[in-house]
A and B are shown apart, each in its own frame.
Chain A
Amino acid sequence: MIWLDALVCLLMVVVAVTATTVRNLVSAVIMVGVVSLLVSYLFLRMGAPDVAMTEAAIGAALTTVIFLIALRRTGEGR
């Protein structure tokens, strides 16, 4: 299981760095959402289901959606 955790950590770093370099803003927003989802898995593994739920619901879902709506409204999303 520790290997899965290490893999998730590594994936998180890779996705986070890619989010800063990718040209397409929509992809960047999705990647930030993916980082939130992965970190919520880590919270769950560390025995904090309450925090994991908050992170998954607000960090991964609502924040991503609000960023996407904002991108569409400013016309940067395409």
Chain B
Amino acid sequence: MTRTVVTLIALVAIAGLFFVLLGLGTPDELGTVSRHYVERGIAENRAANLVTSVVVNYRGLDTLGEVTVLFLSVTGAAFVLRRRERKPVDAKASRASEIVQTGARVLVAPIMLFGAYIFVHGHLTPGGGFQGGAVVASGVLLLLLADRERELPHGLMSWLESLSGFAFVVAGLAGLWVAGSFLANRGVLPLGEWNRLLSAGIIPVIYILIGLKVGSELAALLDVMMRGEAVAGGPSGDRHRGGGKRHGGGTSRRAGKKRTKGGRR
């Protein structure tokens, strides 16, 4: 009863807050910085998609920070859920249905291609490195769902990830060297013609690097989570999970303990 009342009061308070925000309205004209972006952005960067020019060039340092945050969180997850020695899992139990397998065979290549298209054309059409990388990772997810036993090229993925992160910083330093500010666009690469694939200077290069980095990171995250499942969720893991329920779910560490117990059996 008290909980319901408290929830209702909270909902009303939040709704009231939104009405206050509604009253504030939106300003009729742009601020100094946004006016500069809107009026001079295309001339300065020649990116047809102005959002890209803000994300990668004017606010490029923030994007580098975002990429670093994603890198650290994926590293943390991989550390907590690190891969253990795999037991031979019953092939029948880990096989997906015929529909998923056939669907994956047809769809994985177009999905990957679409992801690559999104981040290669980030300076022309909506989207960019983060979106394209996420689409690529969802293609990898389909691949993993169709065949749990599939081994991803881990060496290639970690190299791709580290090299693209490194190259992002190198591109920033090139701006510092040539134009005098970190991640500067002017003068590093020719700006090219507006609305062409080879235009906007260094922006498409950086977005391709971000796309590769985000794609390989998210794919590695999904892989490390699914792998853990493949070990714990095998035919023996099933029995185990029933037993584990008595202790009430559990954190990943507890799941790990359960797993080692299963190995001893």
Q: Which bracket fits the contact residues of B?
A: 20 to 34
B234 within 8 A of A: no
Show 14 residue pairs from A and B whose CB-CB distance is below 8 angstroms, ordered by the A residue. Answer: A50-B52, A52-B126, A53-B126, A54-B130, A54-B131, A61-B138, A65-B138, A65-B141, A69-B225, A69-B226, A73-B252, A74-B250, A75-B241, A75-B244
Seed contacts A50-B128, A69-B222, A69-B226; 17 additional CB < 8 Å A-B pairs: A49-B127, A50-B49, A50-B51, A50-B131, A53-B127, A54-B130, A61-B138, A62-B134, A62-B141, A62-B218, A65-B222, A66-B221, A73-B229, A73-B233, A74-B250, A75-B241, A75-B244
Q: Which of A37-63 contact B (CB under 8 A)?
A: 49-50, 52-54, 57-58, 61-62
Closest chain B residue to A76 by CB distance? Answer: B249
Q: Judging by beta carbons under 8 Å apart, are B131 and A53 in contact? A: yes
Closest chain A residue to B252 by CB distance? Answer: A73
Q: If A53-B118, A66-B225, A69-B229 touch, does A74 touch B255 (CB 8 Å cutoff)?
A: yes
A70 within 8 A of B: yes
* B251: A residues at CB distance < 8 A: 74
B86 within 8 A of A: no
Q: Which of A4-46 contact B (CB under 8 A)?
A: none
CA distance A7 to B77 in the complex (A): 38
* B212: A residues at CB distance < 8 A: none
* A70: B residues at CB distance < 8 A: 225
Residues of chain A at the chain B interface (Cβ within 8 Å):
49-50, 52-54, 57-58, 61-62, 65-66, 69-70, 72-76
- Minimum C-beta distance from B118 to chain A (A): 7
CB-contact partner of B134 in A49, A58, A72, under 8 A: A58
* B218: A residues at CB distance < 8 A: 62
Residues of chain B at the chain A interface (Cβ within 8 Å):
49, 51-52, 118, 126-128, 130-131, 134-135, 137-138, 141, 218, 221-222, 225-226, 228-229, 232-233, 241, 244-245, 249-252, 255
Closest chain B residue to A65 by CB distance? Answer: B141
Q: Judging by beta carbons under 8 Å apart, are A50 and B255 in contact? A: no
CA distance A54 to B126 in the complex (A): 10
Q: Judging by beta carbons under 8 Å apart, are B222 and A54 in contact? A: no
Q: Judging by beta carbons under 8 Å apart, are B127 and A50 in contact? A: yes
CB-contact partner of B245 in A52, A62, A65, A75, under 8 A: A75
Closest chain A residue to B238 by CB distance? Answer: A75
- Minimum C-beta distance from A28 to chain B (A): 15
CA distance A20 to B126 in the complex (A): 33
* A58: B residues at CB distance < 8 A: 130, 134
- Minimum C-beta distance from B207 to chain A (A): 12
CA distance A76 to B130 in the complex (A): 31
* A53: B residues at CB distance < 8 A: 118, 126-127, 131
